[in-house]
Amino acid sequence: MTLLSSIFSSHKNEDHISEAEGVVGVDIGSSSMKVVELQDRKGVVTLTTYGEVQLGPYVGKKIGESVSLGARQEQEALVDVIRESAVKARNAVFSMPLSSSFVTNVSFEADPDADLSAMVRVEARKVIPASLSEVTLDWAEVEITKEEKKGNENKRNILIAAIQNSALERYKILMQFAGLNKPPTEIECFSTIRGLYSNDEENVAVIDIGANSSKLYIVRKGLLMRMYRIRAGGAIATEKIAEVLQVSFEEAEEMKLSADRKSSNFSELKRVYDGSYDRAFREFGQVIREYEGRTGVEFNVIHLSGGGSLFPGTDIHLKEVLNRDVTMVNPFSKVAYPAFMQDTLREIGPSFSVALGAAMRGFE
């Protein structure tokens, strides 16, 4: 299991999937579980199937609700989504949710020939809210700009990632139960980045709207430079709709999923939905401006991802708040698929960024 090694080109990827095999990326969120299966067909990474199951019903909750599953419910859900999606691959890459992990950047001074390993562990003890004996730790040095150094040539910038050992063991058992072969594990932010990053754009800002939280990823040359997370997501927006419009959660979720710009209640529905993200979007804008001011880097376009971004006009709302161009991500554009699926995959793409990015790890 590696956290970062396949993200950075300076490391060897030991998890490569052979050409004859397929690989399934697994994304377990707080409201749904998604899978994407890819296969190498004559040198072309090709989509073979994908699928999603809602997790609420497994614990007696409504579709769209953010839930915490027990081990047995997780096993049932994974087996169901693999069966219903007709996944055949036994090789898998599992994307670990941020709730079970920790990612941050730290900076300190060190000579060019200094042993960074010991220094990183010292810094990790300061920022990781758990004993280092309770987590699996990985790190990598990332490039910093001239503006960040400000004359201090010995300044070093380190990306630290850690996953709870208890979570790793839990998901290892989960994958064994589903008959998957020793799946490598990585944190979801790295899967998201792989699912949308292109060498054509050196500096990228991504806003990923999940069910229970929204995340901002600032990426340089494919490497995560800054992450900021806030409690705002699709399930929370549904709760707000139910409260304001005085309907049940189930009715609010259906209204959200079937929202149509032409419907009579769309204006009110959109006002409530947008309002549940105003604070998060403003904070993201502040973080982006602070980063630009400190590094001299500029972001002309914000990439929007996650299931919560699928509500009509969310990209327009984000553009208005940030006063920047916004584009919806299309992770399936990185793989081959039948032409008749193009419209569907473009529409659902933002919600499958993590699962597709995880699956792509096997083909690096």
**What pLDDT shows up at residue 312?**
95
**What pLDDT shows up at residue 12?**
36
**What pLDDT shows up at residue 17?**
52
Closest CA to 304 of 240, 353, 236: 353
Closest CA to 335 of 320, 323, 352: 352
Please state the rounded mean pLDDT for residues 7-28. Answer: 61
3-state secondary structure of 282: helix
Summarize pLDDT for 283-293 with one digit per residue, the tens. 999 999 999 99
Distance (Å, whole) CA 112 – CA 154? 7
Please state the rounded mean pLDDT for residues 105-112. Answer: 86
What DSSP element (H or E) covers 316? helix 314-322
**What pLDDT shows up at residue 359?**
95
Q: Measure CA of the first residue to CA of the last residue in the chain; give whole Å.
A: 16
User: What percent of the chain clears pLDDT 90, i.e. is strictly above it?
Assistant: 64
pLDDT at residue 192 above 90? yes
**What pLDDT shows up at residue 14?**
46
Architecture of domain 22-100+165-198+330-363: 2-Layer Sandwich (3.30)
- Summary mean pLDDT of the chain: 89
Distance (Å, whole) CA 13 – CA 260? 45
278-284: long-range contacts, CB 8 A cutoff, minimum separation 24:
278/321, 279/230, 279/232, 280/214, 280/230, 280/232, 281/207, 281/317, 281/318, 281/321, 281/322, 282/321, 283/228, 283/230, 284/207, 284/214, 284/216, 284/228, 284/230, 284/322
Could you write out the DSSP letters of every residue in 111-155? -TT--HHHHHHHHHHHH-SS-GGGEEEEEEEE---HHHHTT-TTE
Q: What is the pTM of this model?
A: 0.89
**What pLDDT shows up at residue 6?**
40
- Whether the CB-CB separation of 39 and 89 falls below 8 Å is answered with yes
pLDDT at residue 1 above 50? no
Summarize pLDDT for 331-354 with one digit per residue, the tens. 999 999 999 999 999 999 999 999
pLDDT at residue 60 above 90? yes
Summarize pLDDT for 244-282 with one digit per residue, the tens. 999 999 999 999 999 988 888 899 999 999 999 999 999
Please state the rounded mean pLDDT for residues 173-194. Answer: 89
Please state the rounded mean pLDDT for residues 306-312. Answer: 94
**Residues in Cβ contact with 305 at an 8 Å cutoff, skipping those fewer than 6 apart:** 192, 196, 206, 207, 208, 209, 328, 329, 331, 350, 353
- Whether the CB-CB separation of 346 and 310 falls below 8 Å is answered with no
**What pLDDT shows up at residue 364?**
78
**What pLDDT shows up at residue 10?**
28
What is the CB neighbour count within 10 angstroms for residue 210? 28
Please state the rounded mean pLDDT for residues 314-330. Answer: 96
Burial class (CB in 10 A: 0-12, 13-18, 19+), 118: exposed
Summarize pLDDT for 132-166 with one digit per residue, the tens. 999 998 998 887 777 777 767 788 889 999 999 99
pLDDT at residue 2 above 50? no
Region for residue 76 given its phi and psi (left: phi exceeds 0; alpha: psi -120 to 50; beta: otherwise) = alpha
Report which of residues 153 and 17 the model is more confident about.
153
pLDDT at residue 16 above 70? no
Distance (Å, whole) CA 71 – CA 58? 11
pLDDT at residue 88 above 70? yes
**What pLDDT shows up at residue 147?**
76
User: What percent of the chain clears pLDDT 70, i.e. is strictly above it?
Assistant: 94
Distance (Å, whole) CA 256 – CA 325? 24
Closest CA to 291 of 222, 230, 201, 218: 218
Domain boundaries, the chain: 22-100+165-198+330-363, 236-274
Distance (Å, whole) CA 171 – CA 220? 30
